[in-house]
Chain A
Amino acid sequence: MGKEDLISSNPLRVLGLDNKAEEGRQSLGLVMARAGLGKTAILVQIALDSMLRGNRVLHVAIGETIDKTRDRYDDILAKMVEDLNEEAESDLSRRRMIMTFKENVFSRAMLEERLQDLIEQDVFKPDCLIIDGYDFDGNGRQAMEDLKQLMAELGISVIWFSAVSHREDPRVSADGVPAPCHTIDDLFEVVLLINPQDNVMKLDILRCAYCEVEPGTALLLDPSTMLIQKS
């Protein structure tokens, strides 16, 4: 499949976020699931889609190593595209940067400082931020609003987060967004939930401000590759 086909046929198009980004609107996205169900795989596909569309992605991996994160991208890209030529691969790699932090040291101030460094030194100016491993239990609405403000200041069009939900915590928002994000779900334009059911893995679209599909629609995940498919 060619690059253009890959972009146009990507099921993520239904979320309608890219048009909004082109209009200059900024959005927050969230992928939720219980531990070990594949949130990072979804985030990486979102990042790769953004990179294929020509954007620069900064992947912030909290509590993970650079090599492991990089391997994730290589694995998923290899599954998405069978034979990408060296030039295209190198071009894609240049659109991605990985920043890793230990769990207990990540903060908005630190992220801002690093991002300023990158931009000032003309090293990397991201269009999209992926924050994998953000601590929603320890950070509340104010912290999220701070990040939204940072996004505006730095001209970042979208930030995607991952969050862990817990089976034993029954709290949900009106839209069905589970704890610990149930009280701040209004801050997100899109919320996706990985929902394993019998033999299928679904990616439920819980919130979708600019959706091009009916609310309640789910995307499907290939359980062996975790690639997003059209339902």
Chain B
Amino acid sequence: MAKDLSKVRNIGISAHIDSGKTTLTERILFYTDRIHAIHEVRGKDGVGAKMDSMELEKERGITIQSAATYASWKDVDINIIDTPGHVDFTIEVERALRVLDGAILVLCSVGGVQSQSITVSRQMARYRVPRIAFVNKCDRTGANPARVTEQLRDKLELNAHLMQLPIGLEGDFEGLVDLITMKAIYFDGENGEILREEAIPADMAAEAEEKREALLEEISMFSEELMESLLEGGDIDPQLIHDAVRRGTLALEFTPVFVGSAYKNKGIQPLLDAVSSYLPCPTDVVNHALDLEDDEKEFPVSNDPDDKLIMLAFKLEDGRYGQLTYVRTYQGMLKKGDTVYNSRTGKKVKIGRLVRMHADEMEEIDSCGPGDIVALFGVDCASGDTFTAEGISASMSSMHIPEPVISLAVIPVDNKAQNNMSKALNRFTKEDPTFRTYVDHETGETIISGMGELHLDVYIERMKREYSAAVEVGAPQVAYRETITMQAAFDYIHKKQTGGSGQYGRVAGYLEPLEEGEYEFVDEIVGGVIPREFIPSCDKGFQKSMAKGSLCGAAITGVRAVINDGNSHSVDSSDVAFQLAAQGAFKEAYMKAKPVIMEPIMKVAVEGPTEFQGAVMGSLNQRRGMIIGTMEEGNYTVVEAEVPLSEMFGYSTTLRSLTQGKAEFTMEFATFKQVPKSVSEELVKKFQEEKRND
């Protein structure tokens, strides 16, 4: 029997680090009977929260990889992906958002909306993910859910409204007032599992009435029936209110805000009700696939179990039993033993085992259908691959993947470590498209690159722990780029005739800056002056030249190589000869094309007490930072700046000492910009010295 998709919710839980996402997920699993005991993230019982299944995560108390899990609340099936909070891991957040239909934005009631929440919110907007907000940690000193709601409106520009009022705050946080039912809810029992409804405390009645009125007025925008009902006066059907909130939320025009304390077991069950009531089901959201047989034309997926299967592999994990692939099904059914096709490779894949994941435990299932998020066993693929049934050639739209900005050398200490490191790197690059690796042919070193220091740190730790790969690590290096700024012609002959068969190839044309993309090869050869079979050799030669620029040894990007003339020799021309001719031609034209060095620029946001604002701005300024602006919020200020990544190493230590540890910062990649002349000269000089020493 086909599953009722209106009873399915695929949700993400994302927010700022330390806002309590993992604890919240743990409680959700507890109340939905997926686990039978509660363990804290950094708990004394040494078990750790269920969702932090990786050892490292348990140790650091942060969530690094999103673990998918399934829960059931009343009659609704909820697939939850717990997502990491640090910017360095945003590819995880982005992937989760790509496959989810809705999200809970978790905020700390003390810290409120912080820079990472802004980043996450932007990502949610990019993927048009409807969200509800949960203001957690209402039991903490300084808790102020009203202020956080205001920040959601001011900083994230969300039409956010409290759906509940807290009864007491900080140490006195007892329960909450539901502004729809106008009842007070208390959470009794050892783990808050018994909900007790009471009348609203007398001293809160007036406030509750006032807030309810404001809420109803706001959401009546989304429902004519509700508006009429309000105008008529009298009792209002709660279902009308729920419908209006749902409509506003799905249209991304309203964000209902819930309050609670996951740690104190308060407010979770009403939040689960809200997930069921207000977040979309798979059919509420239109997802698109690309038709690979029709010039990648977009078409909406059907959500119909009877249609041909389309599913997306959005996450890979290496478990004890081999590769575990998390997939989201968009249409069609997948059964154990089915054969599917990988759209990217065209390879047939037989589905052996199908499981529903619950953090690091699994439940065997026989089939899955539209809207389901499940995991497959033993399927060889990369993250982002699409699987389809036979007879349909489609791919889910590609994901936005940022370029890595930092790299470092990893050197295995012995042969065993070398083997283990290779296995680990092979795995990590499949799991995470923002993590890249290559061998520097000149130094023979293995270089890993990624989105930040912490990102690479985590992989190095995983290499050591999970793969026993003992490695030494070089200093982090900024991923500079070289690019050209003007057109330059080349006309190069590669000729070698010293005994035996010779080598001959002539290529002529020009290099020019390419506005978008890394490299483009244009063949304008007419009359076969370069035989067809050697055209790919020219392309290959240019691409080889792009690997390392002659200014500072960085990879070259943004080049269009056009060939329009050449010559060949009936005996001496070969693939190698034309590759070398193209390399010579590139070298000839490159310096004439006025190359420049580009560096990654990071968007940095520093938040801290206003008294340190001057010092913070000074510190960013000293780092070649361009202060974009400051945002003053009472005693707290956010300074936003664009700073070259090369200047940000060690900034956390500087910031700590400047602000007595009271400020924090986040950074994310913004763009590549040309380095100033002085820096460029220094980089060129350093590269020349290195070359001399080699």
List residues of chain A with CB under 8 Å of any chain B CB.
65-66, 68-70, 86-87, 90, 93-94, 97-102, 105, 110, 114, 116-118, 120-124
Contacts and interface: CB of A to CB of B under 8 A. Distances in A.
A191 to B, nearest CB: 28
B155 interface: yes
Given A70-B628, A98-B628, A114-B630, A65 B614 contact: no
A100 B630 CA distance: 6
A110 B632 CA distance: 10
Nearest to A111: B632
A98 B629 contact: yes
Contacts of A87: 674
Contacts of B626: 93-94
A117 B617 contact: yes
Across the A-B interface, the 6 shortest Cβ-Cβ residue pairs: A98-B629, A117-B614, A121-B618, A66-B629, A123-B621, A123-B617
A121 B632 contact: no
Contacts of B630: 66, 97-100, 114
B632 A97 contact: no
Given A66-B640, A122-B621, A123-B618, A114 B613 contact: yes
Nearest to A101: B632
Contacts of B614: 116-118, 120-121
Contact of B617 (A66, A102, A118): A118
A93 B634 CA distance: 27
B529 interface: no
A148 B613 CA distance: 25
B157 interface: yes
Contacts of A94: 626
17 contacts: A65-B631, A66-B628, A66-B629, A66-B631, A87-B674, A90-B673, A99-B630, A100-B631, A102-B633, A102-B634, A105-B633, A105-B634, A117-B613, A120-B614, A121-B615, A122-B618, A123-B627
B154 interface: yes
Contacts of B157: 65, 68
Contacts of B631: 65-66, 100
Contacts, number: 65
A110 B630 CA distance: 13
A109 to B, nearest CB: 13
Given A117-B614, A121-B617, A97 B628 contact: yes
A57 B630 CA distance: 14
Nearest to B631: A100
A64 to B, nearest CB: 10
Most buried by A among B155, B632, B633, B674: B632
B558 to A, nearest CB: 12
Contacts of B633: 102, 105
A124 B621 CA distance: 9
A101 B637 CA distance: 10
A118 B614 CA distance: 6
Given A90-B673, A105-B632, A97 B627 contact: yes
A70 B618 contact: no
Contacts of B154: 65, 102
A122 B155 CA distance: 28
Contacts of B634: 102, 105
Given A117-B617, A122-B618, A100 B673 contact: no
Interface in B538-594: none
B617 A70 contact: no
Interface string B631-653: 11110000010000000000000
Interface residues of B, number: 21
Contacts of A69: 629
A118 B637 CA distance: 14
B628 A99 contact: no
Given A65-B155, A123-B627, 16 more contacts: A65-B154, A65-B157, A66-B630, A66-B631, A90-B673, A97-B627, A98-B630, A99-B630, A99-B632, A102-B634, A110-B632, A117-B617, A118-B617, A121-B614, A121-B621, A122-B618
Contacts of A102: 154, 632-634
A171 to B, nearest CB: 32
B577 to A, nearest CB: 39
Most buried by A among B614, B615, B629: B629
B484 to A, nearest CB: 14
Contacts of B673: 86, 90
A117 B621 CA distance: 12
Nearest to A66: B629
Contacts of A124: 627
A118 B629 CA distance: 11
Contact of B629 (A99, A105, A120): A99
Contacts of B613: 114, 117
A39 to B, nearest CB: 19
B632 A100 contact: yes
Interface string B334-361: 0000000000000000000000000000
A27 to B, nearest CB: 25
B546 to A, nearest CB: 21
A117 B612 CA distance: 10
A90 B154 CA distance: 28
A45 to B, nearest CB: 19
A120 B614 CA distance: 8
A115 to B, nearest CB: 10
A102 B153 CA distance: 13
Interface in B596-635: 613-615, 617-618, 621, 626-634
Nearest to A58: B629
B551 to A, nearest CB: 18
A204 B630 CA distance: 33
A90 B614 CA distance: 23
A100 B629 contact: yes
Nearest to B618: A121
A101 B634 CA distance: 9
Nearest to B642: A93
Contacts of B618: 121-123
A69 B628 CA distance: 10
Most buried by B among A66, A110, A124: A66
Nearest to B155: A65
A68 B155 CA distance: 10
Nearest to A59: B629
Nearest to B632: A101
Nearest to B157: A65
A88 B134 CA distance: 44
A69 B640 CA distance: 13
Contacts of B640: 66
Contacts of A123: 617-618, 621, 627
A86 B675 CA distance: 12
A9 B23 CA distance: 61
B278 to A, nearest CB: 26
A121 B618 CA distance: 5
Interface in B669-686: 673-674
A49 to B, nearest CB: 20
